[in-house]
Structure 1
Amino acid sequence: MKILIVEDESRIAKRIERMTRAFFGDSLRVINHTNTLHEAMKFIGNNELDLVLLDLNLNGENGFDLLTAAVSESFHTIIISAYKEQAITAFEYGVLDFVPKPFNSTRLDQALMRAGSKEKTGPNIVKFLAVKKRHKVQLIAIEEVTYIKGAGAYTELFMTNKRKELHDKSLEKLEQLLSPSFERIHKSYLVKMSEIKEIIVESGSKYIAELKNGQLIPIGRTKYKDLKSKWL
């Protein structure tokens, strides 16, 4: 794990680092700390990361300015903040967890465990997927996304208006964040269940999901029975 802590209070940053080191042990490769938005943005732009632990108030600066950019990256983001009223908005933007201050090691461990898991976690109320567009970040409403295709370390978002956008997060990471309205029907596809028009069974145990827009998406053999029961 390569982790960045973004926290303006040195005492709290050291406490987070101590707890994080204790949790990950030998699997923690690098952990760094910055205390301003500018430093954090610069560090994120120049380094590969697995996880960012972000405070929302940094010497009066709004952490959401960084959050909007951070959620467009390949890593997961966990908020550690006293601003509990911002939790729902943070989840809607696509954070993995929101740890309210004051916190203990048990609550932080719970959040860190989610970062190391591939299972769906948290309230799954993502409303936007942030994508990078020519040195700026654009928020894509989740309601506009029909299906998502894995493209190596990246994903391709396919929209209702037939537009396609590239996202830096892997299919596995997006699967963790998205609500059950999106189903992993194949190793390379996440599909919005409401967009499935028909499930087609072909010879040779070949299964296909026909979407309302006419798109045909393969269904993994091990996924067919579960998908059919949920679709019906």
Structure 2
Amino acid sequence: MYKTIIIEDEQRIREALSIMLEMTAPNSIQIIGYAESASEAVKLIDRLKPDLVFMDIMLTDGTGFDVLKQITFNSFHLIFTTAYEQHAINAFKYSAIDYLLKPIDPEELKTAVERITLLEEKVLEKQQLNELQQNLTRTPDRIILPTQEAMYVVKLDQIIRCETSGSYTTFFLTDGRKIMVSKPLKNYEDLLEPPMFFRVHQSHLINVNSIVSYSREGMVQMIDKSAVPISRGKKEHFFKLMKDEI
């Protein structure tokens, strides 16, 4: 059972989330406390030492970030709840931090709870939180790539291409590094979008700015000397994109 705290300043949302957790995860979630302010949240987390925290970003006397800066106990899974618009949602994705969008969908909640059971590490890296705070106030130009060894902060223009194999994706960078993450390419396709990036094939997504040449037969030469195929269904869109970029 995951000892769980809900930090939310709206009573109806606290109650709704509690009911949904009881319905979707009755055998894995035990709610042990509630808080509606940052000051209450800090005291509650340090006293009860939860396994899982659902936390709204905007609270009555501060933010979720204020809570995370003040707590002494931080060995727990964290899922932010937010009503932010799409730009801010992308900030969470770029920072590799879990979130639920209000109003919370029961199926998405169930998936989020199931996802944490697969994670060993409970502590969010400060780097992730710093990136999230910055990304909430700007157009993200960096992405966090979580691996078993470390959290890598990568500038978007450092990415030459991405190649997927099953549920894993390898990022090939301009400095020669290869970073493999345990997520399929689909997870990153919505973040690495045209005109800078283009998915030329089911297994390949490329940085258009890293193209050296391309052929009408359907091959793209990249600056790392790799040759990437363009699938038949992507050719017309790709050639149009390249024409528009010239």
TM-score band, normalised by shorter chain: 0.5 to 0.7
Contact map agreement 1:129 1:139 (CA 8 A) in 2:
yes
CA contact 1:147–1:192 (8 Å) conserved in 2: yes
Give the structure-1-normalised TM-score.
Answer: 0.58
Determine helix, strand or coil for the equivalent of 2:164: strand
Aligned to 1:141: 155
Distance 2:139 2:231 in 1: 24
| Contact 2:210-2:222 at 8 Å conserved across structures | yes
Look up the match of 1:7: 6
Q: Is the 8 A contact 2:55 2:80 kept in 1?
A: yes
Partner of 1:74: none
List aligned pairs for 1:167-206, cutoff 5 A. 167-180=181-194, 181-202=196-217
Greater strand share, structure number: 1
SS at match of 2:216: strand
Unaligned 5+ segments in structure 1 are 44-51, 64-68, 71-76, 116-122
- 1:49-128 aligned at under 5 Å gives the runs 55-56=56-57, 57=64, 60-62=67-69, 79-81=80-82, 87=88, 90=92, 92-94=94-96, 99=101, 105=103, 108=104, 125=140, 127-128=142-143
CA contact (8 A) 1:91 1:126 kept: no
Deviation at 1:182, TM superposition (A): 1.6
Structure 2: segments with no counterpart, 5+ residues: 34-44, 58-63, 71-75, 112-137
Counterpart AA for 1:168: S
Identity %: 19
Q: Matches of 1:126 and 1:17 in 2, distance apart?
A: 36
Counterpart of 1:185, as a letter, is V
Cα distance in 2, alignment partners of residues 153 and 29 from structure 1: 29
> In the TM superposition, what is the alpha-carbon distance from 1:19 to its structure 2 partner?
6.5
Highest CA radius of gyration, 1 or 2?
A: 2
1:219 alignment partner in structure 2? 230
Question: What is the CA–CA distance in structure 2 between the aligned matches of 1:147 and 1:223, rounded to whole Å?
Answer: 16
Aligned length: 184
Paired AA for residue 233 in structure 2: T
Structure 1 residues 83, 186: CA separation in 2 closer, same or farther (over 3 Å shift)? closer
Q: CA RMSD in A?
A: 4.7
Secondary structure of the residue aligned to 1:169 is: coil
Could you tell me which amino acid in structure 1 is paired with residue 184 of structure 2? S
After TM superposition, the score normalised by the length of structure 2 is 0.55
**TM-superposed deviation, 1:152:** 1.1
